Structure 1
């Protein structure tokens, strides 16, 4: 942003070389100017750019005096000025209106956004308008830091050749140029940033008018760029008799012609701009390049020159050809990972390796909070809790997750997944002991919530309970964490959820009412038998911070228009976005574990002026570090220039300065990037590309850090001998092996014997999925039920209007199934086509085949004698048997899924129908069914474009041989498993695995089958 020329300022300024630890040099120089007098040292003020820098300087003073008692000077971050610090705030500061509460500001702006949206014909809910209000706040803050008058300039920003939508945007922004200033004046408050800049100007003016007495030093240290209000403060410091400005890492070797024309994305652009505003020349600044007592260089001396030369602006790249150009990259290495997770794991190993060296400190510097979180998680693997300066997002703490899950559960009608997410949350207790609540939740899940979802609400749970069978595997009543009786637990849930359940889900309700009901419900759900819910919910730093935010929301959101319950989730997420808390939740959960004193995770702001022994610069890819050059949602680049807002490239320049400063802040620096982020390829950061190109031009290359090799061998067993999982081979005693199976289980026995072992011997039954949708099995039940009803009503003849009657039967069965309307509408035309096909087919069979009697859903059994383990019983139920007048029988099987192939039936892999025929011929069915089976037929009934397919398996002698072979094969199968050494293998025949393997996870099929494929067998 262009500024009017500033008058030349005469004052004392110094620059600390990049290889000198900045805060240690400041502490040493301050002690020297105080004559190392413990009392005189406390006289004065040191201004720093951040609280983290102030903390680092305090620690540096302690190091410099070796822990001896000393009076420290006042060390203050420049943004920490307020009325309480009268020495800084100035006399006029007390006359300033108070700053508006942040939540109140956002709530009011949300209302204004919604009103403006309606004027433009864009109706939005509070959850959609809140993020727009936050974007308006960001725009106002940016303009107020830059001291840009939006009131005068913004209305003219889109004048001229701009697209129509920019004109509409400017009209919308009248919220902050007209409506909002009037509201602030009416309420007697100020924007926080406007108030902060006013305080800084007031302090600067006071120092100019009434400077501190001689002998009271005031230093401003560590600034690399500055907004106008900060520049006013620095100018005032320079005007003081004992004022001193100390800057980090100014490039003193850059040619003046280059220095005066640095582009905004250059690392030194911000510093050059600031010095220009202050009227300071580089050659007039003192150079503090000596190392303080007891300190070592933070980096090799040539490294700063190397980075400065590599990052020269485009118009100065001729300097790369200088034969004296620095090329020493000692201590620099690069870490190129495949993806984000590998990058995080490798960085964690780099940090962990530093801890092997006593007293050494390691830090990760990154603007990527996702990467920081991954690295922190990886470090926990070794019991290392990193000191993360950014804290924890309020959006991710358990209390926030609990509140949002409650909203989603009630808004979703207590659907199974949403309800279980609430009552299985660690904070949920419902007035019981937490263990009893968890046991009750599991019982509720097992009895009512597995399988198709019950109807919505508490009434739906009670209806499902009335239809549920008693749980045969319930917990013992005297167990330590026994479940509550299920009806009582449902009543308890209804009481706890009552405040939210009482609100209409589809109607508009005041936001404050929604928030109050949410808090009351959450506290009731969090209460235990001994502890109040509020005490649990709002405990600790995280709970306290969330509680304060919720109190502010309750206090100020009464101005918002009414909203539906479902909008509360989005409103809560939007209002907490960007809010963090410096909590120690992870530490409290680990007995005897504390934050490690030598491992740090810093953001770019926190990393400024800090040093360590090893620093990893993580996330060095475009759009992360540096960030994307986004002008924002409100104005294009030309509009920002016209208004007077800084160019987005200034943020790139500050990120570049942070990169160079951090790269010179440690003897060993690892430059890390991932080749892919969220599955998409990345572009390496421009500074990394520049550095590689510069070194390559001089015949050098950055070495690869060995962390990826460490990571590759981390989880390998000693000696590199990987022992893959082997298929299970259970051999239970013959007395435990089943002596009766159904015809469908025989196919399972052949394809996956382990499933029979798990179901019939271990007695493990597969749990139905949560919110299980009606699938092909339900569709098949409807088709079977309709055909059974029809043939029971018409076992011999065919009515004249058979087609219409059969369609009516299918429709009646579909209605009786009580499916949700959408699914019923999807299946109805398919069932109609099946009915039409069946009617036509049956009419043709009646005409061609002569008289016959149709018998449906008949059960039978066949017993095999003279087996090693004793008699074996085969059970089965035939879908349909046609008994003809000549004594022959036709056997039918209905399929709504995949039709078996004739080959698989003849080879015995799908022998259900053949085994039923063997049972018939052995007299295993009731007396009406007797004789010779002459026909085996499969009907595949889908109701699709081709309504049905028919597979006629075999007839005559071929069928006779098939039945005999199948009976013999069954006897051999049973006899084989009567051998105690015969194991129940999992998927023993590759290519013949079952379509649905309920026990594949138990058998670890994915592990050993992968190993078998790798070994080629």
Structure 2
């Protein structure tokens, strides 16, 4: 029988935030006197631990006599005895550990193992949802009296059994979650509260009903123990029906994320300047709050962050994940270099020498190495080779050995790597480093016979699963930075801001997407199922949020900030703000005031950005390549940046193979094929030779078979077509002579061009009688090549290579130049450059004129047009997107 007494604490001037707990002490003290209950033997339960200090101060100020025991349900349970340890296969409420236990539970389920084989990612998602549902169900059971728990489980079974229709997998997972939670068998730490016999129970309700506290009061009332519930909750729609607002309520509309962050920081500073400290900053959007925190730290605002952020986003966690990514079997050189640049590899860098890492990275980019397998230590500087050797030895324990190991073995290998790197002291130097080591069981051992110890010992994981477990563990843990001295600002969630004596409350993100958009249910349960079982449904969660929001109105000042749009899409105000506006209107009060931005304004004069241009009078490049000449014709400013300033964009070392990797690989395969074919002492089938060299070159370049599979499939179609073309060419008297020829010439004898070197690499030269055939391999569009040579004077590449070959031609020899299109679906196609020798003469004359003009001080403007501009790597240098004038 529910006999507890209810009393309402309204939202009026007598119950504002700074005096609220005094009213609680008065009400509770008077009620205890009426009941004749001993004050010192009574228990006063509060919603959150942050409310304990102001409540206790209020009782001390009220009387120097005894005060009740002021606790939360969890703090009181912790004082009564230790928590019960989760045994093997029991729920530990650690999501990462419980996911491993859930995987063990599903080993005997054929439908689950079929899902695991068919779709490993879907299986991991199923585990996550199973654990989420099991946690929700067991927490709900723990909020009931022990004697009522069996009825709760029976009700849950009945609800889940009545679900018709599709969703067989979800129903099976929900059933497993229910039985797993129901079979836990442990007592909850809070069960000791039901055995406690105080002189009276008093509960302060704020933010909606507390099921556990309500169960305690119901049980006590049924046993004749006095029970009082002081309800601080008020209906948001009627909050001002009997009393006016207690302070200024203002709203700020912002244009975008950064404007919202800037205005929030400014609002906080204005409140502090007005003496409204301590101040609450309500944390809803983690990214926004971190930006606001950074802005306020620049202003040296002392603050306490009660929310923190996930441990995975801290520097020690990021460095540890960089190490794990480098140790992965398919890790690319980018992952290795990222790890070697981190603090965890500092000792390696010091042992190898200060310049080892820059030299290693430069050589990898110069050689185009993408995978560690392609790296050749004999081509590295001694210090770089030493660094690479030390790095490989440090990660050997993670990279070598059995592909499937227990979680404990993986953690031991990780700890060994950290010891070899001498990295544990570095991690511990950071505030979050010790917590990272602790969360991953690297600085402590799990309790014997616990769920954690069993999962670490029994779970058999591949490396990818181990890294996923590390990531999930770090994501599930929160890092709360230490508090400053006498914080003026408290960053806290909305629920924990309730009933605390803040001078003002600042709530950013008061929009429909962030505040009041809806609650969250376990993915395996519908809203109707949650309600029928006894879990908080979406409506109850929305009501609890509205109650918590209404409590902010007890503050002397409330600032609500929101964006009015996301990009081009309008963003409405939160439904809670709409209800607040209606409540003000019903009470006959003024609507929300507009926030006044008191930041000083400064007018900035517009500075139009003119078209970039340069002059290089008296300067010439020492050498010129075909691509350099192409850039001079495409855009003079691009030539200035590349050829005269020597700027080059570093190539990415991504592990994923792309069309450029395919082109480099195919050039190398064809060169090795013809060289071996030319020097072969024993016959070998051309098709077999080509296939063998293709695989050898793939391994030499470190191209992963899985990533390169589409290109190998293309090569399978290419090889017979190429051999057919080769046979036809040789039948016509054309034979391979040489390939990958480095050539340079100095065609200009007069100043200022005397000594200028034209240099380049020619893919291939064939002989046809006394003539020479210059061939350039292309893996691009055949139509594009035909369009090029249709205007010979615009095709600089073949003409440039022909100029490099000119000194080697005899008086009787003629030169032909052609592109060889390798990717045409109909076969290998030749695209001839007509009358190339005449084009060479025109090209050299044009180059000479252009370079003399450049040397004489002719301008080098940025053209800002054409496809070459769209893909130009110097686009950021010329500021093409910021020009105030349109391109011609």
Q: How far apart are 1:495 and its partner, in Å?
A: 3.9
In the alignment, does 2:862 pair up with 1:978?
Answer: no
Check 1:223–1:719 CA distance in 2 against 1; reply closer, same or farther (3 A cut).
Answer: closer
Alpha-carbon distance between aligned partners in 2 of 1:140 and 1:746, rounded to the nearest angstrom:
72
Alpha-carbon distance between aligned partners in 2 of 1:582 and 1:72, rounded to the nearest angstrom:
35
Give the corresponding residue for 2:880.
1009
Check 1:183–1:79 CA distance in 2 against 1; reply closer, same or farther (3 A cut).
Answer: closer
Give the corresponding residue for 2:470.
572
Alpha-carbon distance between aligned partners in 2 of 1:960 and 1:228, rounded to the nearest angstrom:
92
Alpha-carbon distance between aligned partners in 1 of 2:882 and 2:736, rounded to the nearest angstrom:
51
Alpha-carbon distance between aligned partners in 1 of 2:495 and 2:46, rounded to the nearest angstrom:
12
Alpha-carbon distance between aligned partners in 1 of 2:166 and 2:658, rounded to the nearest angstrom:
51
In the alignment, does 2:85 pair up with 1:200?
Answer: no
1:76 to 70, 76, 80: 70
Give the corresponding residue for 1:831.
718
What do the CA deviations read for 1:899-951 (whole angstroms, capped 9, x no partner)? 3565787485532323445566xxx4224465666x65444x13332435554
What do the CA deviations read for 1:584-633 (whole angstroms, capped 9, x no partner)? 3xx8xxxxxx4783333220221111354543333334564325344423
Give the alignment's TM-score, normalised by structure 2: 0.79
Give the corresponding residue for 2:780.
897
2:325 to 408, 429, 451: 408
Contact 2:39 2:66 in 1 (8 A): yes
Contact 1:354 1:360 in 2 (8 A): yes
SS, match of residue 597 in structure 1:
coil
Give the corresponding residue for 2:2.
6
Contact 2:41 2:199 in 1 (8 A): no
1:721 to 606, 620, 623: 606
In the alignment, does 2:133 pair up with 1:135?
Answer: yes
In the alignment, does 2:109 pair up with 1:119?
Answer: yes
Alpha-carbon distance between aligned partners in 1 of 2:667 and 2:767, rounded to the nearest angstrom:
19
Give the corresponding residue for 1:912.
797
Give the corresponding residue for 1:492.
390
SS, match of residue 76 in structure 1:
strand
Alpha-carbon distance between aligned partners in 1 of 2:303 and 2:790, rounded to the nearest angstrom:
63
Give the corresponding residue for 2:187.
190
Q: How far apart are 1:237 and its partner, in Å?
A: 9.9
What do the CA deviations read for 1:507-538 (whole angstroms, capped 9, x no partner)? 3x22222223223323433438xx58777798
Alpha-carbon distance between aligned partners in 1 of 2:495 and 2:293, rounded to the nearest angstrom:
19
Contact 2:171 2:524 in 1 (8 A): yes
Q: How far apart are 1:200 and its partner, in Å?
A: 3.1
Check 1:573–1:741 CA distance in 2 against 1; reply closer, same or farther (3 A cut).
Answer: closer
Matches within 5 A, 1:840-855: 842=729, 846=732
Give the corresponding residue for 2:214.
231
Q: How far apart are 1:854 and its partner, in Å?
A: 7.1
Contact 2:581 2:591 in 1 (8 A): yes
SS, match of residue 767 in structure 1:
coil
What do the CA deviations read for 1:205-252 (whole angstroms, capped 9, x no partner)? 4325xxxxxxxxx8644535333441355576999999875443546x
Alpha-carbon distance between aligned partners in 1 of 2:375 and 2:634, rounded to the nearest angstrom:
36
Contact 1:16 1:246 in 2 (8 A): no
Give the corresponding residue for 2:865.
990
Q: How far apart are 1:884 and its partner, in Å?
A: 7.2
Q: Return the index of the structure with the highest Cα Rg.
A: 1
In the alignment, does 2:765 pair up with 1:867?
Answer: no
Matches within 5 A, 1:246-285: 246-248=230-232, 250=234
Contact 2:746 2:757 in 1 (8 A): yes
SS, match of residue 312 in structure 2:
coil
In the alignment, does 2:616 pair up with 1:731?
Answer: yes
Gaps of 5+ in 1: 209-217, 252-266, 269-302, 310-325, 472-484, 588-593, 796-801
Contact 1:17 1:249 in 2 (8 A): no
Give the corresponding residue for 1:368.
285
Q: How far apart are 1:972 and its partner, in Å?
A: 0.6
Give the corresponding residue for 2:697.
817
In the alignment, does 2:842 pair up with 1:965?
Answer: yes
Give the corresponding residue for 2:19.
24
Contact 1:146 1:645 in 2 (8 A): no
Give the alignment's TM-score, normalised by structure 1: 0.70
Gaps of 5+ in 2: 31-37
Alpha-carbon distance between aligned partners in 2 of 1:549 and 1:245, rounded to the nearest angstrom:
45
SS, match of residue 817 in structure 1:
helix
Check 1:929–1:386 CA distance in 2 against 1; reply closer, same or farther (3 A cut).
Answer: farther
1:598 to 488, 500, 507: 488
Q: Output the aligned Cα RMSD.
A: 5.0
Q: How far apart are 1:876 and its partner, in Å?
A: 4.8
Contact 1:343 1:673 in 2 (8 A): yes
What do the CA deviations read for 1:90-134 (whole angstroms, capped 9, x no partner)? xxxx7x984548985654784355324532520358966466334
User: Highest relative contact order (Cα 8 Å, sep 6+), 1 or 2?
Assistant: 2
Higher mean alpha-carbon deviation, 166-175 vs 152-161, is at 166-175
Give the corresponding residue for 1:561.
459
SS, match of residue 367 in structure 1:
coil
What do the CA deviations read for 1:637-669 (whole angstroms, capped 9, x no partner)? 443444344433111100011122224424242
Alpha-carbon distance between aligned partners in 2 of 1:672 and 1:888, rounded to the nearest angstrom:
76
Alpha-carbon distance between aligned partners in 2 of 1:412 and 1:944, rounded to the nearest angstrom:
36
Matches within 5 A, 1:365-764: 365-384=282-301, 386-430=303-347, 440-448=356-364, 452-453=368-369, 460=373, 464-470=375-381, 485-505=383-403, 507=404, 509-527=405-423, 551-552=445-446, 555-558=453-456, 560-584=458-482, 594=484, 597-622=487-512, 624-673=514-563, 675-676=565-566, 684-691=573-580, 702=592, 705=595, 718-722=603-607, 724=609, 727=612, 729=614, 731=616, 734=619, 737-753=620-636, 762-764=645-647
Alpha-carbon distance between aligned partners in 2 of 1:161 and 1:47, rounded to the nearest angstrom:
38
What do the CA deviations read for 1:736-790 (whole angstroms, capped 9, x no partner)? x324323443222333455555555555554332135555455445665677688
Q: How far apart are 1:830 and its partner, in Å?
A: 4.3
Alpha-carbon distance between aligned partners in 1 of 2:105 and 2:349, rounded to the nearest angstrom:
46
Name the count of aligned residue pairs: 844
Contact 1:526 1:534 in 2 (8 A): no
Alpha-carbon distance between aligned partners in 2 of 1:805 and 1:29, rounded to the nearest angstrom:
95
In the alignment, does 2:45 pair up with 1:155?
Answer: no
Give the corresponding residue for 1:768.
651
SS, match of residue 305 in structure 1:
coil
Check 1:721–1:381 CA distance in 2 against 1; reply closer, same or farther (3 A cut).
Answer: farther
SS, match of residue 601 in structure 1:
strand
Alpha-carbon distance between aligned partners in 2 of 1:238 and 1:150, rounded to the nearest angstrom:
19
Contact 1:365 1:615 in 2 (8 A): yes
Contact 2:408 2:456 in 1 (8 A): yes
Give the corresponding residue for 2:824.
944
Check 1:756–1:150 CA distance in 2 against 1; reply closer, same or farther (3 A cut).
Answer: same
SS, match of residue 746 in structure 1:
helix
Matches within 5 A, 1:926-941: 926-928=808-810, 937-939=818-820, 941=821
Check 1:176–1:524 CA distance in 2 against 1; reply closer, same or farther (3 A cut).
Answer: farther
Check 1:545–1:73 CA distance in 2 against 1; reply closer, same or farther (3 A cut).
Answer: farther
What do the CA deviations read for 1:959-1017 (whole angstroms, capped 9, x no partner)? 776544323211111212322x34665x446327368645445xx23xx2112266566
Check 1:600–1:904 CA distance in 2 against 1; reply closer, same or farther (3 A cut).
Answer: farther
Higher mean alpha-carbon deviation, 634-643 vs 388-397, is at 634-643
Contact 2:21 2:54 in 1 (8 A): no
Check 1:502–1:243 CA distance in 2 against 1; reply closer, same or farther (3 A cut).
Answer: same
